[in-house]
Structures are given as structure tokens and as C-alpha cells.
Amino acid sequence: GNSVTQMEGPVTLSEEAFLTINCTYTATGYPSLFWYVQYPGEGLQLLLKATKADDKGSNKGFEATYRKETTSFHLEKGSVQVSDSAVYFCALLYSSASKIIFGSGTRLSIRP
């Protein structure tokens, strides 16, 4: 079946460090891939997306590239800030099924 596996947290980094949160997926066909972010006490927000192989999604300094050959969609940021502390969810969506499958979430904490 379809699934999303992402790096277990919590991840703790110092400000300005490089961030990678790994995400791999199992799916038939060609899903769209997403990263969602949930800041403390808030709802879920779409961070970035990619809809086909080799697409790169980017937003707020975060990037992720849809890699079909490795079935991955790793989230990266070159220099994290304290304000990036949140829980990050990798997810996939088949437009035909309209059902989002979420990864387990990775809690990120950034130290000043």
C-alpha cells in the first residue's frame, strides 16, 4: 500500500545550522508530494509541494526535490532559525483518491 516514512525526531539544532529531514514514500503511480508544518499551538500549513518527478518545491528558505528514482522528498534548509521550531509532516496525495497520507511527523527544535 501507499505510505510515507520520515525521519524520527526530535531533531535539535543550533541556529544557522543546516537542516535535512528525510522522507521516503511507497506508492504506485505518480502522487503529488507535500511538506506541511505545524507551529506550536497552531494548525497545519502547507510549506511546499511538488507534483511531478524532478520538481523542486521551495518556500521560506526550505527546499525539497521530488526524486522518483529514490522515492524521496527530503526537506532541506541551509540556515535554520529559532522561528523554524515546529513539527514537519511529509505527505503524499493521489488526485484520483483525494486522500492524503501523512508521515509520522518530525519535531524540530532550534537552539539560539
Partner 1 sequence: SAVISQKPSRDICQRGTSLTIQCQVDSQVTMMFWYRQQPGQSLTLIATANQGSEATYESGFVIDKFPISRPNLTFSTLTVSNMSPEDSSIYLCSVEEGTVNSYNEQFFGPGTRLTVL
Binding footprint of partner 1 on the chain (CB under 8 A) = 32, 34, 36, 42-46, 49, 51, 89, 93, 95, 98-100, 102-105
Coil/strand/helix, residue 104: coil
Nine-digit cell string for 95: 488526485
Least distance CB 1 / partner 1 (angstroms): 12
- Taking the complex as a whole, the smallest distance from the CB of residue 55 to partner 1 amounts, in Å, to 10
Q: How far is the CB of 76 from partner 1 (least distance, A)?
A: 21
Which of residues 10 and 78 has its CB atom nearest to partner 1 in the complex? 10
Q: H or E stretch including 87?
A: strand 86-94
Collapsing DSSP to helix, strand or coil, 83 comes out as: helix
Nearer to partner 1, 42 or 69 (CB): 42
Distance, CA of 56 to CA of 95 (rounded, Å)? 19
